[in-house]
Structure 1
């Protein structure tokens, strides 16, 4: 796990970017504290910061150049099948690193080798003879890659802060702002800075003779449905996860696992304990908020598999005190509040190990969220659905909030009632959106054509989609934009590598092939995954409700963060001078925050708050 950055000139008028490269590389020091270096040759500059995981010797440092001096690679990630790929190469390797294997595989096959890679990565591969540069990103988007291009040069980096080191105009992209306000994160290839893009998962950029080619090497092709028995599907799920975990246990530094107490991370720990009899596991709990504390389940799993377990028990003060660390590290607005406990967990865990396994990706593959259940059930014609439709006006008026059991139930019921009036493709965007009226908050919102053009790129040609289609949309939109971005940013802020076994290419292909009723059956989510591990995990975990990483944001905004929210969000003079947000609409949020029915207003306020803190640091 590392940080990469660099540039390539596209014209003779390109500015001298050598000093910019040094600054950009230095900005990524947390991603790679073990070594930092740059490479310069004619029109190209490459920078690398290293977090040493496999072959920690100097021989594996980057930028790495081949024996002839022609080819150079900077690379962020891990290729888990590098030993198998090394057998295809007749090379006398000077290191035992996956970096060197990737370098020589690229020399031999170029971009044609990309579908062979099983792992997570973003890299830049330079051919000094051809003056060409190949950039690529893994198929699921686990590792990030931002880039900016004008007529004179192209610059890239693992994080936006690296690009801020280059001469790039800092202007807000209004379409990106709209989707950020609506979703709380930036989806797909969007960036908050006009002209900056993220390379899409499964894509590459090839630059030669000042010509820039962007294309995909992998996409979500239609999958033949698994036609075996349900028992076969369970067995195959366990088998593929075990194989995936085993691949991800390769490291020359201490390795452990996150353990939340849910099925996903617990299944990963169950498999990892087979290969490490002294496996270290880590969980966090909320001492001041029992509703979201799941550490008792994590401790049951740790006891069953005899792991070396550590629980970090947090108070509200611990969460609040971490806000500055979270907000100071992010270099693009990102308002998923679960980033806060993820940051704290990574901070604590990084003091013990350098590599952690996690259960991320299972929900998107197997249907683990309430929205998946809501989607599946909303198409049924039954008495409960008819009753909810009839009660829709009443449900809309009930006090709703994510911060209490009753309020959360009312919130979900009201959203579900609205859901049943929609076509299934529209249901996806309804369920994905935290603030569907985002344009009302903006002074210059994008027009409907621009908004719909983004939605239409994911349209399958039919307004009626099934659960597997819904999950594929999550894999394309939510997973790389939100979940994987959160884990990458918060772990890298603490120099910790996080590996995600559920996103192994073989397990992803298998999960996508399973019929929808294997994933959601009546009121049960992730059915096949839960049943596959029913007799492996402690019985207390089976069929229990999912809670996830939540923080008491509504309470904070009314109390501990009240002064800060007033300063950053409700300063009308600043809002009017800034010219981005509709100040009258923003002020209405203040009244709702302190009303008897705040609903999800705290989510919208947090989204604006994060943006404003970011704006004052990076744009003012």
Structure 2
């Protein structure tokens, strides 16, 4: 994970320079291993490209920005499912590809084939054109902002003055701007526009002061709907209050078994890529002077661990690919009770702490040879207030809701765990959106009084809404707060092949809301967990991290503006 920054200024005064230094300071935590920059001066203004690198891939540390022929490249993320030598960094890989390009069409043809979470900035030195994008699934952060000096593109920002207008860049495709005209933008779409995408594009133009023209539709091949031949319907199976009998019956059905086998292959491959593609040293050993001679047996992988089905499955799969003599960290966060209790062990006895203890015992039962290192992070209200007001609010920016505050703080404190040596954090993002795990999915089924087909259409509509908004609702923010602690957040469920597979299944092949809560929601994933050995965990009800960690009050309106995140004008 890296911090990337591109500032285009038509007025390079001292205030602009001080702003850039502040922004580079925010980037450094994302990339503590190496910082570099390139400054270019043109008649119409100045361009700064700066990168802060967290070494995760390649045989050696690769600084950024990097020159690739006529282009300067800034890259944040990871490429997967590509034919790429292991000893070359992703940044060098894409730079080599782009160096052979001579025009926009060739650049787009290269970017179309990229898979994996990333954000990318490319500057064409000859034609003075910026190309920039977030990946098709919007997993990594890239903020675009209009200032009195020009335009900034950057991984993390913060509110500095009233002349600044910022927005998370909608992950709609590859954007193209001539730096001599910062009001006109061309967009090469990942996929055809719909009503939601049109609204995102309208918001971008209004907030940042652009006039964006759709130039082409790229349509990466994995986005095309895949025709599957699985023929089963969870609603056709009876439930007699015995979940063990139900689950055993379901996983033995030939078509369901085939679906689970496909899920196992895809999810195992996704976890393997995200566990294996990392530097050979933990954050402590990386700071040693003689890095080449260091043999590191510390944990390099952690799971942000509530104890729920999603993260426990990731832990169990990670066990297959992490060297047997390395621990795996399970980081659980709890916030001080608001009930006024005296400080004691019970103060941290929050729901997620209890489920984490239960789930780690299941992991020890299934994989007794692994050292599962459960790290408990206990956060006082005073610590929460201090970090939120001095640092976390800048990482959450430009988002401002109570929900953003709660989730952002929970992920920041978990990834900030002082006893953690890991530089990669696996998180369960996307599981609820893909498998049907939210109460609103169940409500969509129950509140529809039509036919079975109409009920399934209602559930599908709710799943589609959740899937469309996950980049803006979760992913970019989580990337910013976790990366601030020198960790790369990796979400194995949100992987191109998994998404294609699960989005091609019908709702009744992923969840079943005629079964009780904790049994039928995310049913396909629960069956998978049961199949690989999980028992108690497979029946845990969905619980949002903000409530499980007790950072949030259920009586608050999650969509209301947070008083702590307000931008004072």
TM-score by length of 2: 0.72
Q: Compared with structure 1, are the counterparts of its residues 371 and 343 closer, same or farther at alpha carbon in structure 2 (3 Å cutoff)?
A: same
**1:267 has 2:313 as partner:** yes
User: Is 1:216 aligned to 2:262, yes or no?
Assistant: no
Corresponding position of 1:498? 489
Deviation at 1:160, TM superposition (A): 2.7
> Does 1:475 find its partner at 2:467?
yes
Matching residue of 2:539: 543
CA contact (8 A) 2:302 2:331 kept: no
Change (3 A) 1:62 1:483: same
Counterpart check, 1:312 vs 2:375: yes
Q: Which residue is equivalent to 1:32?
A: 31
User: Are the equivalent residues in 2 in contact too, given 1:234–1:528 (CA < 8 A)?
Assistant: yes
Say which of 29, 42, 47 aligns to 1:44. Answer: 47
Tell me the SS of whatever aligns to 1:122. Answer: strand
Residue 72 of structure 1: aligned partner: 72
Distance 2:432 2:534 in 1: 20
Whole-Å separation in 1 of the counterparts to 2:401 and 2:66 = 33
Aligned CA distance change for structure 1 residues 224 and 469 (closer, same or farther; 3 Å):
farther
Against the structure 1 CA distance between its residues 230 and 470, is the aligned structure 2 distance closer, same or farther, given a 3 Å change threshold? same
Does structure 2 conserve the Cα–Cα contact (< 8 Å) formed by 1:319 and 1:341?
A: no
Equivalent-residue separation in structure 2 for 1:5 and 1:350 (angstroms) = 30
In the TM superposition, what is the alpha-carbon distance from 1:152 to its structure 2 partner?
7.3
Counterpart Cα distance in 2 of 1:54 and 1:246: 14
Shift of residue 240, structure 1, vs aligned partner: 0.4
Contact 2:333/2:413 (8 A) holds in 1? no
1:304-349 per-residue CA deviation (whole Å, 9 max, x = no partner) reads 234322223455x535523421343222224222333322211117
User: How far apart in 2 are the matches of 1:554 and 1:96?
Assistant: 43
Q: In the superposition, relative to structure 1, how do residues 506 and 222 fare at CA in structure 2: closer, same or farther (>3 Å)?
A: closer
Change (3 A) 1:339 1:26: closer
Is 1:238 the counterpart of 2:259? The answer is no
**CA displacement at 1:367 relative to structure 2:** 0.6
8 Å CA contact retained: 2:436, 2:463: yes
**Separation in structure 1 between the aligned mates of residue 507 and residue 429 of structure 2, nearest angstrom:** 20
Matching residue within 475, 478, 484 for 1:487: 478
SS at match of 2:556: helix
Using the TM superposition, name which of 357-366 and 270-279 deviates more: 270-279
Residue 302 of structure 1, CA deviation: 2.8
> Contact 1:519/1:527 (CA < 8 Å) preserved in 2?
yes
Distance 2:490 2:428 in 1: 9
Residues 350, 550 of structure 2: 8 Å contact kept: no
Question: Take 2:177 and 2:552, find their aligned partners in 1: how far apart are those partners?
Answer: 49
2:98 aligns with one of 106, 113, 130: 106
Instruction: State the Cα distance separating 1:20 from its structure 2 match.
Output: 4.1
Count, aligned residues: 451
* 1:160-175 paired onto structure 2 within 5 Å: 160-161=157-158, 169-170=163-164
Pairwise CA distance, 1:280: 0.7
How far apart in 1 are the matches of 2:490 and 2:118? 11
C-alpha displacement of 1:544: 2.6
Give the CA deviation at 1:106: 2.7
How far apart, in 2, do the equivalents of 1:488 and 1:350 lie?
Answer: 21
Secondary structure of the corresponding residue to residue 112 of structure 2: helix
Q: What SS class does the counterpart of residue 41 from structure 1 fall into?
A: strand
User: Which of the numbers 128, 132, 150 marks the counterpart of 1:131?
Assistant: 128
Is 1:530 matched with 2:532? no
Change (3 A) 1:505 1:222: closer
Partner of 1:387: none
**Which residue does the alignment assign to 2:291?**
none
Matched with 2:217 is none
Number of the residue aligned with 2:176? 206
> CA 1:290–1:146 in 2, change beyond 3 Å: closer, same or farther?
closer
- Matching of residue 4 in structure 1 with residue 4 in structure 2: yes
Deviations 1:109-130 (A, max 9, x none): 4122223212111121112112
Structure 1 pair 294/266, CA: closer, same or farther in 2 (3 Å)? same
Q: Structure 1 residue 359 and structure 2 residue 428: aligned?
A: yes
| Partner residue of 1:247 out of 269, 273, 279 | 273
Contact 2:142 2:476 survives alignment (8 Å): no
1:485–1:318 distance in 2 versus 1, CA, 3 Å: farther
**Structure 1 position 269, deviation (Å):** 1.8
Retained in 1: the 8 A contact 2:268–2:317? yes
How far apart in 2 are the matches of 1:319 and 1:130?
Answer: 52
Residue 24 of structure 1: CA displacement?
A: 2.2
Compare the two structures and name the one with the higher helix fraction.
1
- Structure 2: gaps spanning 5 or more residues: 101-105, 194-222, 231-254, 283-299, 335-345
Match of 1:335 in 2: 402
Stretch of structure 1 that moved more, 100-109 or 15-24: 15-24
Partner residue in 2 for 1:257: 302
Superposed displacement of residue 601, structure 1: 3.9
